[in-house]
Amino acid sequence: MFNNMRAIDIRGNVGPAESLYMAEIPKPIPKEGQALIKIKAFGINRADIMQRDGEYPVPPWAGRIMGLEFSGIIEELGENSESSFSVGDEVFALAYGGAYAEYITVSTHMLIHKPPHLSWEEAAGIPETWLTATKVMYKIGEFTRGKSILWHAGASGVSISGIQLALSAGASAVYATARSDEKCDFCVNTLGATAAFNTTDPNWVDQVMKATNGKGVDIIADLIGPDVFAENLKIAAKDARVVLVGLMSGFTFKKEFDMGLLAFKRVRYEGSTLRSRDEDFQRKLRDTFVSEALPQFQSGQFKVHIEKVLPWEQIIDAHKLMETNKIMGKIICTID
């Protein structure tokens, strides 16, 4: 019993939310350069739902236990760990998997010191969304001060993070889309977006072009996929960057699009996932986040918007809530 721990597993490897259950598995042992973390809280992400449903290509090194982000306390360090971390430090981090558990081992290159004023729940809601937003803007979108940016699914965790990041970094305009007026109002009135557009309105593309005086948008963060591909080409500015980081509308096209716009506007359309990137990429992304965003968390400028906090024993309810697509912020599970 001493060498075991509790973790959330899936009966039959894939299945509905009801297939999740509390299992007992071996407690991990930190390897060279790794830390063993006692987890206090972890975030729920759409990738978890896709993995549970068997629709996510899980990296072979990730293991079967879900969970991509967490906060907790360093309990043990392997040899040759980063010298800035010590046993007892409060940290949060991105993980390749395994955060739905009492303990996790990760490279110390992934760890970030938790600011004292942040709660465990807030810290656990940062890594996946904020590092993805950082990647979209700086690593792929090639953001520089004065560019405009649009975040699809504006009330999602990634876009909530991205809107704040872009405003702080000096974007000329920060736009968002959503599928309800309530979410659009949240993006503008709570997050501070320049404007938000309801994509259930058939004229939303015209509204974007009017808002940009016909220029279009310099960077588009696409969490939707096929359903907005044609529209992205229409609202993209010349030399725009479109970054595909989500496939909420599925994997296949259901309508025609004008391929000529891709060429004539010189649009670069690039897909990216974070989980499949190697540790060196993750470390560099962590360092960018620490320099570009962490100071604003320490000052209180950036906020983690949390929809609901649940004890991890209610993991089924957490997954079902994520599946409603009605949330505006993170779902966090806590471990006593």
Q: What are the structural domains of the chain?
A: 4-126+275-334 (3.90.180.10), 129-271 (3.40.50.720)
User: In the predicted model, what is the mean pLDDT of residues 176-202?
Assistant: 97
Task: Give the H or E element holding residue 77.
Answer: strand 69-77
Which of 15-29, 50-64, 124-138, 315-329 comes out lowest in average pLDDT? 50-64
Q: Residue 248's pLDDT is what?
A: 87
User: In the predicted model, what is the mean pLDDT of residues 280-309?
Assistant: 93
Please, are residues 227 and 249 in contact by the beta-carbon 8 Å criterion? yes
Q: How many helices (H) and strands (E) does the chain have?
A: 11, 15
Q: Is the confidence at residue 132, as pLDDT, over 90?
A: yes
Opening angle at CA 48, ends 46 and 50, nearest 5: 75
pTM, rounded to two decimals: 0.90
Q: What is the mean pLDDT of the chain?
A: 95
pLDDT of 148-169, one tens digit each? 999 999 999 999 999 999 999 9
Q: End-to-end CA distance of the chain, in Å?
A: 18
pLDDT of 40-87, one tens digit each? 999 999 999 999 999 888 888 888 999 999 999 999 999 999 999 999
Place of tokens 């690593």: 139
Q: Residue 2's pLDDT is what?
A: 65
Q: How many CB atoms lie within 10 A of CB 204?
A: 17
Place of tokens 């990730």: 62
Q: Is the confidence at residue 125, as pLDDT, over 80?
A: yes
Q: Residue 1's pLDDT is what?
A: 45
pLDDT of 222-267, one tens digit each? 999 999 999 999 999 999 999 999 888 888 988 889 999 999 999 9
- φ/ψ region of 94 (left if φ > 0, alpha if ψ in -120 to 50, else beta) reads beta
What are the beta bridge partners of residue 105? 36
Q: Residue 331's pLDDT is what?
A: 97
Tokens (6 digits) for 82: 């980063």
Report the chain's C-alpha Rg in angstroms: 20
